[in-house]
Chains A and B, each alone.
Chain A
Amino acid sequence: MILAMFRVMALALWRDRGALVMTFLLPPLVFLIFSAVFAGTTGEDIRLKLAIADDAHTPASRRLVDALLADPDLRAERTDPDTGERVRALVKAGRADAGIIVRADPSASDSPIVVVSDPSRAVAAPLTMARVQQAMARALPDVLLDRTLVETAPAVGGFTSRQMAVVAAAKARLAKDGAGAARPGLFEREDITGAKKGGGTIAYYAGAVSILFALFSAMTGALSLIDERRSGIADRILAGTRGMGPVVTGKFLFLTAQGVVQATMIFITAQLVYGVPVLQHIGPWLVTTVLASVCAAGLALGIVAFCRTRDQAQMLSTFIILILAAIGGSMVPRFLMPPWLQTVGWATPHAWTIEAYQSILWRDAELMAVYPAWAVLAATGLAGLMLAQKATRLIR
């Protein structure tokens, strides 16, 4: 009896080519788009577009502007006309991510450089400041030394004329030979073992998109419960000996299987395109995938079983899918959310699914670390299934 309902659901999907494409091809496509978008937000590939104006017109300011224009990590352009107003206009119009106005000689003590930024691109300002600092260190070390002397002189009680002469010689040497020379900086960067550029984000979005679509497809499939009530099929079945129990269980098994196939398509894409190590973690991955699908199927049936009409179920399911996806991190990475929202996110299956996949595929975590996520997903799915069974018994 359960398999009979599984067959009904499978044939309904198989014979609706549009639904088939939406169910199995759209998720990998959306995953590719999301991962392409969000893999770039790690900062590795950001090349700021800067508008630069030199209002100071000193030798040092010219050297700074030239250094910024030559920086391969920036897309810097000198404005025409070469004025601060033009820089502000370009940033305001969104034609530059940020702007730099060199309003005084860089050695001047009173903030000689203005960074113009749009609050909607807040991250651009600190990145620009960091790039200018790097350019100063690389191209104008003598000017930096000058600024350091100005700042430290009061603290050490001033410099003697002999010391000043030594400093002047050092400045001249730096100005002549030091520009562009590589010097060890304050920081050395170390990536975590085995880390691949963007890999964490890719694993994150493979999980995020798979649970998003598992729930979306499960909701669509669960709507057949309402169709069966409306078409009299439920009446026919309820007049029989077994009631709706096998029908709900058959749907649950099908929706779970559908979720597993859907996630498989997404993670095959993730492995082929981005090298996400799915095959290397096939066991834990499969358990996570099955339990995420169980969760989506149970949740969808539980929600739809309590709706009276298709319209009501569609509206409610759309609302729930969007809210859970937004809070649970399927749309925007959770680490970008405020702390309270990250805490609320743990109330969604999305957060647990993403956590489980990231633990397995990115952090190489011990299974112990994944058990809580597995427990939450299984419990949610089974609770939804029990609710659906209860609700369909009520319509008896």
Chain B
Amino acid sequence: MTDRPILNVWGAEHQYGDRKVLRGVDLTVHPGEIYALLGPNGAGKSTLVGAICGRFKLTGGEVALDGQDPFVTASARARLGLVPQEIALYGHMTVRENLEVFGRLSGVMRCDLAPAVASAMQLTRTADREHVPVRHLSGGYRRRVNIAAAILHRPQLLILDEPTVGVDIDAREALDTVIRNLRDTGVAVLIVTHDLDQAGALADRVGFLREGRKVLEGVPRRLIEQAFGQEMEILVQMHLEPDMDGESILAAEGLERRKGNLWARLDLDGYNAAAQLDRRLRGLGLIPREIRVRAPSLQNLFSLVADWSRAA
């Protein structure tokens, strides 16, 4: 990672009619860095990405890609590659044909096309399917070709919008490897995602957007340490769906429902607290199927940020 950022956003403000969607967001991404932009729906992530891609002029603030405004200067946009959330490929065409088309559309000269396609396929590990129509590929392969189509012109900044939607764990790991490989070649990667696990595993830095403001930014591990200190997360998977009394008992133990029948809380005395919790619940007739103890994740941080915002 170098000191000079490839992307600079200063005080980004934007509004649609009377609705303010960005309220003074600052952002920098450096070459060789993976930055994950996190936030709930409506936080302003898509608007910020649209402005970075030069799709519209911000109502306030500035965007600079390698020092140039992407809305005004086409050569600034040549420095970025966008991987949309959808599979933005032609399904009736093979991997190679798609890459040739998007190479030309992104300004790669005809004479440079073959090496660019070969390089993109190598980086994304898609060369073994080069003659297969995209519609016949698995979800994970499509995602990788989706990335390959955005790096043909060797962008300095790669923006990935929700790159792991609809892919299984194996495919996600393969995607993570591809993204790390790109980062290692010096490309700055900006990931916009809801997938906090992926952000935690991949990102060198994360930024939380909420209601148009950047409410937190930093290295994930440090942010978690700062927020939770020595606290551990206790996850309780209940055997049966608790009735109303059972829910009251779990709430009294400080547990919050996560998803389905999974409950969680933070505790400084992680393992001992988990053992005591197990005994107390069993004594009250609530049988946990599994209790796990783990270090807090970005998910916990995300919930904490949401709580702060609500309190504010």
Instruction: Please state if B88 and A235 are interface contacts (CB–CB under 8 Å).
Output: yes
Chain B, residue nearest A16 (CB): B92
Q: Is A279 an interface residue (CB 8 A)?
A: no
**When the two chains form the complex, which single residue of B55, B86, B107 contacts A231, counting CB atoms closer than 8 Å?**
B86
Interface set, chain A 289-336, CB cutoff 8 A to B: none
Q: A12-B90, A233-B89, A239-B82 are in contact. Are A1 and B55 (CB under 8 A)?
A: no
CB distance from B188 to the nearest CB of A (A): 15
CB distance from A18 to the nearest CB of B (A): 13
Q: Range of interface residues on chain B?
A: 20 to 34
Instruction: Please state if B53 and A237 are interface contacts (CB–CB under 8 Å).
Output: no
CB distance from A337 to the nearest CB of B (A): 42
Cα distance, A126 to B90, chains bound together (Å): 61
Interface string of A6-50 (1 = CB under 8 A from B): 011001100110000000000000000000000000000000000
Stretch among B18-26, B96-104, B211-219, B302-310 lining the A interface: B96-104
Chain A residues within 8 Å of B54, by CB: 239
Chain A, residue nearest B107 (CB): A241
Chain B residues within 8 Å of A232, by CB: 84-88
Chain A residues within 8 Å of B150, by CB: 236
Chain A, residue nearest B79 (CB): A241
Instruction: Please state if B102 and A236 are interface contacts (CB–CB under 8 Å).
Output: yes
Q: Is A238 an interface residue (CB 8 A)?
A: yes
**When the two chains form the complex, which single residue of B82, B97, B100, B107 contacts A236, counting CB atoms closer than 8 Å?**
B82
CB distance from A20 to the nearest CB of B (A): 12
Chain B residues within 8 Å of A238, by CB: 53, 55
Instruction: Please state if B104 and A241 are interface contacts (CB–CB under 8 Å).
Output: no
Cα distance, A3 to B101, chains bound together (Å): 9
Q: A232-B86, A241-B77 are in contact. Are A11 and B97 (CB under 8 A)?
A: yes
Instruction: Please state if A4 and B101 are interface contacts (CB–CB under 8 Å).
Output: yes
Cα distance, A62 to B211, chains bound together (Å): 99
Instruction: Please state if A8 and B77 are interface contacts (CB–CB under 8 Å).
Output: no
Interface set, chain B 64-104, CB cutoff 8 A to A: 74-75, 77-78, 80-90, 92-93, 97, 100-102, 104
Cα distance, A93 to B97, chains bound together (Å): 63
Instruction: Please state if B85 and A237 are interface contacts (CB–CB under 8 Å).
Output: no
Interface set, chain A 229-272, CB cutoff 8 A to B: 230-233, 235-242, 246-247
Q: Is A162 an interface residue (CB 8 A)?
A: no
Chain B residues within 8 Å of A241, by CB: 74-75, 77-78, 106-107
CB distance from B217 to the nearest CB of A (A): 24
CB distance from B80 to the nearest CB of A (A): 6
Instruction: Please state if B86 and A5 are interface contacts (CB–CB under 8 Å).
Output: no
Q: Is B312 an interface residue (CB 8 A)?
A: no
Q: A12-B92, A232-B87 are in contact. Are A239 and B97 (CB under 8 A)?
A: no
Chain A residues within 8 Å of B78, by CB: 240-241
Q: Is A396 an interface residue (CB 8 A)?
A: yes
Chain B, residue nearest A230 (CB): B86
Chain A residues within 8 Å of B85, by CB: 232
Instruction: Please state if A8 and B93 are interface contacts (CB–CB under 8 Å).
Output: yes
Interface string of B97-119 (1 = CB under 8 A from A): 10011101111000000000000
Q: A233-B89, A236-B149, A236-B150 are in contact. Are A4 and B77 (CB under 8 A)?
A: no
Our count of residue pairs bridging A and B at CB distance below 8 angstroms stands at 79
Cα distance, A239 to B106, chains bound together (Å): 9
Chain A residues within 8 Å of B55, by CB: 238-239, 396
Chain A residues within 8 Å of B81, by CB: 239
Cα distance, A233 to B85, chains bound together (Å): 10
Q: Which of A7, A230, A235, A247 has the most CB of B within 10 A?
A: A235
Instruction: Please state if A7 and B88 are interface contacts (CB–CB under 8 Å).
Output: no
Chain A residues within 8 Å of B101, by CB: 4-5, 7-8
Q: Is B10 an interface residue (CB 8 A)?
A: no
Interface string of B4-43 (1 = CB under 8 A from A): 0000000000000000000000000000000000000000
CB distance from B84 to the nearest CB of A (A): 3
Chain B, residue nearest A14 (CB): B92
Chain A residues within 8 Å of B107, by CB: 1, 240-242
Chain A residues within 8 Å of B77, by CB: 239-241
Instruction: Please state if A239 and B93 are interface contacts (CB–CB under 8 Å).
Output: no
Cα distance, A115 to B83, chains bound together (Å): 77
Instruction: Please state if B88 and A236 are interface contacts (CB–CB under 8 Å).
Output: yes
Chain A residues within 8 Å of B56, by CB: 396
**When the two chains form the complex, which single residue of B88, B89, B104, B149 contacts A4, counting CB atoms closer than 8 Å?**
B104
Chain B, residue nearest A233 (CB): B88
Chain A residues within 8 Å of B84, by CB: 232-233, 235-236
Cα distance, A277 to B147, chains bound together (Å): 55
Instruction: Please state if B92 and A4 are interface contacts (CB–CB under 8 Å).
Output: no
CB distance from A226 to the nearest CB of B (A): 13
Instruction: Please state if B90 and A8 are interface contacts (CB–CB under 8 Å).
Output: yes
Cα distance, A230 to B87, chains bound together (Å): 10
Interface set, chain A 186-240, CB cutoff 8 A to B: 230-233, 235-240
CB distance from A234 to the nearest CB of B (A): 8
Cα distance, A166 to B85, chains bound together (Å): 104
Interface set, chain B 213-248, CB cutoff 8 A to A: none
Instruction: Please state if A4 and B82 are interface contacts (CB–CB under 8 Å).
Output: no
15 contacts between A and B (CB under 8 A): A1-B105, A4-B100, A7-B97, A7-B101, A231-B87, A233-B88, A236-B84, A237-B105, A238-B53, A239-B55, A240-B106, A240-B107, A240-B153, A241-B77, A241-B78
B interface residues with partner A (beta carbon < 8 Å): 53-56, 74-75, 77-78, 80-90, 92-93, 97, 100-102, 104-107, 149-150, 153, 159
A interface residues with partner B (beta carbon < 8 Å): 1, 3-5, 7-8, 11-12, 15-16, 230-233, 235-242, 246-247, 396
The 3 closest A-B pairs by CB, nearest first: A232-B84, A232-B88, A232-B86
- Beyond contacts A11-B97, A232-B84, A396-B56: 6 other A-B pairs, Cβ-Cβ < 8 A, are A11-B93, A16-B92, A235-B84, A236-B82, A236-B102, A242-B107
